[in-house]
A and B are shown apart, each in its own frame.
Chain A
């Protein structure tokens, strides 16, 4: 009995598996797309640019850049593979760049095809380029061998110190489908010989609506999530020559959001930030070694953080993007039926949002 089953299994496997012989992807014969760029062309067409790293033995070039203009991203793939001797695959993709105009129009269709492609990892980063993605990727930045890899590493290192959120294909898709939050993505920009992180793009569904400046991105990150290991330079007061500066480092942030009802269709949201950190540099009149001055400084920093955070929140409400996921907090505090009947997009701009910050200076300088 048992043996018969085994025999059937083996024969079945042999029958099924013999079909897989053509599935080979021998490493040196495939073109590994590292970064794909999408740009919107004037007639509504799509310009797709792929950057493919080559090993130094092949043609003495560190990478190959292929460009085509087509109606859809999948169609572009066919055209791109015509331009190279390698079989194009996307299993090692690290980054997807979207041009500014395309991001403003919305790029869900292009992301959707990538999400549905099982070979594309959900950990691929999604990034918006302030300008044209194509022109950013085709350039060779003289200090770096492979542009695509350089950008990827740049983003990785910035993510590590919290200036931009880590947005992968998975994160983007999740936030897109979730009805209580809107997706975000980091923005990069091209300088003469560098690429620079330029802030955070906030989306309404898949359309870019608002940009958080790079200087303010830490405040945004504070409201978005808990984090560790960021640094924050703050200008406390900048009157003429008497500047009061502080560099707040090794931040640990804890965020709490509370929702209360304010009227039948409105809510009041309280965002509580608890920030603790180390003062690395301070220029000003206060003596931090004194306990009371330290508290004064803490209050000053807290006020500054609150001020910035509330400014961002106000703009987000104006643009009607809920990138912090306040909708989700509200959703979990009201009955589901009520949430279902509510149009969050209409409610959101009018809710009251308050931000309160508590700052704790753990120590200053490298020693206590």
Chain B
């Protein structure tokens, strides 16, 4: 009993009833400790860390502790070393240290953490001051490889959360864009910025989002994709419940439509939610093309989805059970191409599907130069040799290839991976029960999708619950003149676009 429940319905990590009032964590630092803040004590903590440097300026009577590869050397010299070494007497030193960029710290834990996050600790007369001189080398802003567009901006997020934040800020010049800083991971202490636009977003959702993040209990977070799995409503479901993007323009469009962003430090992917199933089928390109063209490509993607999910499964069902369904003109060709194959269709189809997946996986892991070889070898082996050897029929090759190609049409890689996996289940069902099995499988998927939620909002929105006014941006990409409302799913109080309530 419990097993069925768990299989069908209990994927959910449901929201606790009665949301807490949203409180911004005022400081991430933990409670004050009684340990003395002395240079010796701090250095003792950094024992065996050869990358922690201690530098003395005897003329000013100060010691500076910092990690060289976390700081910007230019800034370090300009802001700390120069003014302090120029100081004539103790009063000068005190004046310099009284400047606002020198923070007085009285807690040793704070100091240790500061040093670890790219600050320099200045020890002077028993006092400790922290200066932000953070500036490690990071990758420049480059073009996105997983979400490339033809028209539109080409920049993408990088691994540095600050850069990512700046990419968003550059696009949203509004004080309504609020940023909350949170910390995830016991050891890595990864910084997560939660972004939302006040007066557009529903604060209850922000509340829930922050609550989930603060409840994460893990040692380490490395990536946005990993991070989402900790805040998913249904962690065991195949479908991603948060949209992940590398594109600042997409991220900003999510913000503006009333969604929440999470920028995870160290990851070029940004998480946005709440998300519906159909959001995974729209690409930034849709909005940069004229609406008719955008609509056509979007419809094409839905067709691709249907092909991916069902093409091979239909082939299996039809050749195993429903010979009546095959058109007369096709039946003899199909028969002839099947006649040399020693396996039943379901085995034949699984064989080819697995081969395609192998090729895809190999192509993704290998360097580009070898990856091309894989493509050629795969093309010849699958397209030509397998048919000639009588392992598969060439019509199946067409079915498998077209469904594989279709799966890559779906803009979100995470979603297309889910769909490719689901396909295998449908092929097996089609092999066991024919069309009935196929329908059973699709029925199960629909039931499951209906039950899914993203941040507590319906995953199939605006399809179920039906919200007709949102359909103009789901199955089609309506002209901008009619795309004037924000999606119903985000439950915003500010539905009209271009009308900010002051």
Contact = CB atoms under 8 A, between A and B. Distances in A.
A131 B76 CA distance: 108
B339 A28 contact: yes
Which size class do B's interface residues fall under? 20 to 34
A6 B324 contact: no
B9 interface: yes
Nearest to B3: A7
Interface in B1-32: 1, 4-5, 8-9
Given A24-B344, A55-B332, A3 B321 contact: no
B331 A26 contact: no
Contacts, number: 67
Looking at chain A's contact residues, the main secondary structure is mixed
Nearest to A121: B324
A17 B433 contact: yes
Interface string B319-330: 111111010100
Contact of B324 (A21, A24, A55, A119): A119
Most buried by A among B9, B335, B338, B339: B335
Contacts of A13: 440
A131 B464 CA distance: 64
A27 B324 contact: no
B339 A57 contact: yes
A74 B289 CA distance: 63
A210 to B, nearest CB: 32
A20 interface: yes
B268 interface: no
Interface stretch (A87-95, A98-106, A187-195, A345-353): A87-95
22 contacts: A3-B5, A3-B8, A6-B4, A7-B1, A20-B433, A24-B320, A24-B321, A25-B321, A26-B338, A26-B344, A27-B323, A27-B326, A27-B335, A28-B339, A32-B323, A55-B332, A55-B335, A55-B339, A92-B324, A92-B326, A94-B328, A119-B324
B320 A30 contact: no
B4 A10 contact: yes
A89 B4 contact: no
Interface of B: 1, 4-5, 8-9, 319-324, 326, 328, 331-336, 338-341, 344-345, 432-434, 436, 440
A20 B322 CA distance: 13
A43 interface: no
Contacts of B326: 27, 92
Interface in A191-233: none
A92 B4 contact: no
B331 A92 contact: yes
A28 B5 contact: no
A56 B4 contact: no
A53 interface: yes
Interface residues of A, number: 27
A89 B326 CA distance: 14
Contacts of A119: 324
A23 interface: yes
B433 A25 contact: no
A3 B324 contact: no
Contacts of A23: 321, 434
Given A92-B324, A94-B328, A27 B338 contact: yes
A62 to B, nearest CB: 9
Contacts of B8: 3, 6
B interface: dominant SS:
helix
Which of B322, B323, B338, B432 has most A Cβ within 10 Å? Answer: B323
Interface of A: 3, 6-7, 10, 13, 17, 20-21, 23-28, 30, 32, 53, 55-58, 89, 91-92, 94, 119, 121
B334 A27 contact: yes
A146 to B, nearest CB: 9
A25 B345 CA distance: 11
Contacts of A91: 323-324
A237 B432 CA distance: 69
Nearest to A93: B324
Contacts of B331: 27, 32, 92
A28 B320 CA distance: 9
A281 to B, nearest CB: 35
A56 B335 CA distance: 10
Contacts of B4: 3, 6-7, 10
A30 B332 CA distance: 12
Contacts of A53: 332
Contacts of A3: 4-5, 8-9
A89 B325 CA distance: 13
A35 to B, nearest CB: 12
Contacts of B339: 28, 55, 57-58
Contact of B336 (A20, A25, A30, A57): A57
B457 to A, nearest CB: 21
B349 to A, nearest CB: 13
A165 to B, nearest CB: 21
A28 B1 CA distance: 43
Contacts of A94: 328
Contacts of B320: 24-27
Contacts of B5: 3
A28 B338 contact: yes
Contacts of B440: 13
B345 A57 contact: no
Nearest to B4: A7
A26 B326 CA distance: 13
A57 B340 contact: yes
Q: Which of A24, A27, A55, A92 lies at the interface centre, i.e. has the most chain B CB atoms within 10 A of its CB?
A: A27
Contacts of B340: 57
A25 B331 CA distance: 14
Nearest to A58: B339
B9 A27 contact: no
A90 to B, nearest CB: 9
A57 B390 CA distance: 13
A6 B319 CA distance: 31
A56 B332 CA distance: 8
Contacts of B328: 92, 94
4 tightest A-B contacts by CB? A55-B336, A91-B324, A28-B338, A27-B319
Contacts of B345: 26-27
Contacts of B323: 25, 27, 30, 32, 89, 91-92
A89 B324 CA distance: 10
Given A24-B320, A27-B345, 17 more contacts: A3-B4, A3-B8, A13-B440, A17-B433, A17-B436, A23-B321, A25-B322, A27-B320, A27-B334, A28-B338, A32-B331, A55-B333, A55-B336, A57-B339, A57-B340, A92-B324, A92-B331
